């Protein structure tokens, strides 16, 4: 009977060692799953692909909606700096009207961003128009009394 008890003790010790190994392996696996750096190393490419696809989808939806909402087919051709100044003034007036309307914070921030973008775009269009006028040997001056426009 002493030999059977010794055999049972040995099997019990072997089972305890196997369980301890399994518990340590499981603990390492849980730590690895919870560690964001190792997860990023392992799955970073997948996250990048998913993020890129989401950004491309969002941009394409925005572009398609803006094209669908355009009223005129083609943008008006800019013939002089006076036309650019008039268009910019119309944009400023529309933005000023919309700025006075109350709305949520994100809308106000988006409107301010649009104002900044419109000013930058107007400056770029004016610069191109000036380059075109200078390239065609026409006088590159404006008859507009307001130099800010």
pLDDT tens track for 111-145 = 778 778 877 877 888 888 888 887 765 554 555 55
Question: Residue 119 domain-assigned?
Answer: yes
Q: How many domains is the chain built from? A: 1
CB 83 within 8 A of CB 133: no
The tokens for 117 are: 């973008």
Residue ranges in the chain whose pLDDT is less than 50: 140, 149
* Euclidean distance between CA atoms 147 and 124, whole angstroms: 15
Helix and strand element counts for the chain (H, E): 4, 0
| Other Cβ atoms within 10 Å of 144 Cβ, number | 15
Q: What pLDDT is recorded for position 20? A: 92
Q: Does a structural domain hold residue 69?
A: no
Report residue 56 as tokens.
């491309």
**Containing structural domain, residue 105:** 76-149
Whole-model pTM: value is 0.31
144 lies in some domain:
yes
């Amino acid at each position: 009977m002493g030999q059977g008890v010794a055999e049972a003790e040995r099997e019990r010790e072997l089972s305890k060692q196997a369980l301890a190994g399994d518990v340590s392996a499981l603990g390492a696996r849980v730590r690895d799953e919870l560690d964001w750096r190792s997860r990023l190393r392992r799955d970073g490419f997948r996250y990048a692909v998913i993020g890129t696809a989401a950004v491309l989808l969002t941009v394409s939806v925005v572009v398609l909606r803006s094209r669908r909402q355009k009223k005129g087919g083609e943008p008006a051709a800019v013939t002089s700096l006076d036309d650019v100044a008039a268009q910019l003034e119309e944009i400023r007036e529309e933005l000023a009207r919309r700025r006075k309307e109350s709305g949520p914070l994100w809308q106000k921030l988006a409107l301010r961003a649009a104002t900044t973008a419109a000013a930058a775009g107007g400056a770029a269009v004016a610069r191109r128009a000036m380059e075109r006028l200078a390239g065609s040997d026409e006088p590159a001056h404006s008859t507009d009394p307001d130099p800010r426009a």
